[in-house]
Amino acid sequence: MTTIIASGSAPAETAISSWMTFLLAASCGLIVANIYYAQPLIGPIGAELGLPPHAAGLIVTMAQIGYGMGLLLIVPLGDLIENRGLVLGILAVGALALLGAA
């Protein structure tokens, strides 16, 4: 027996609850806001690191360029690679980068 679902309606088991929608929206907002957190603190960060003002401004610029490059290069991989493997791979690369930075 085949069940036909009208277009525009989703089966009950695949519907996203309103609290999950709020959680995902808040997460996306915090992730995007993360690249702007350093902007009002550029003066104290540059002074603490001993950077001239033009070099301190690169902190925010490079964060925004890195975010843009991630959107350009990593997001399309979600269509090519299985999601679980992609997340595990990105976490592994991030962990290696943190170990290298330490």
Q: Is residue 29 part of a domain?
A: yes
Can you give the residue range of the structural domain that contains 75? Answer: 18-101
Q: Is residue 11 part of a domain?
A: no
Q: Is residue 28 part of a domain?
A: yes
18-39 tens-digit pLDDT? 999 999 999 989 988 888 888 8
Q: Is residue 34 part of a domain?
A: yes
**pTM of structure:** 0.59
Q: Of 9-13, 26-30, 36-40, 61-65, which range is least confident?
A: 9-13
- 53-73 helix and 42-49 helix, angle to the nearest 10 degrees: 110
Q: Is residue 42 part of a domain?
A: yes
Tally the domains of the chain.
1
Q: Is residue 10 part of a domain?
A: no
Q: Is residue 52 part of a domain?
A: yes
Q: Is residue 9 part of a domain?
A: no
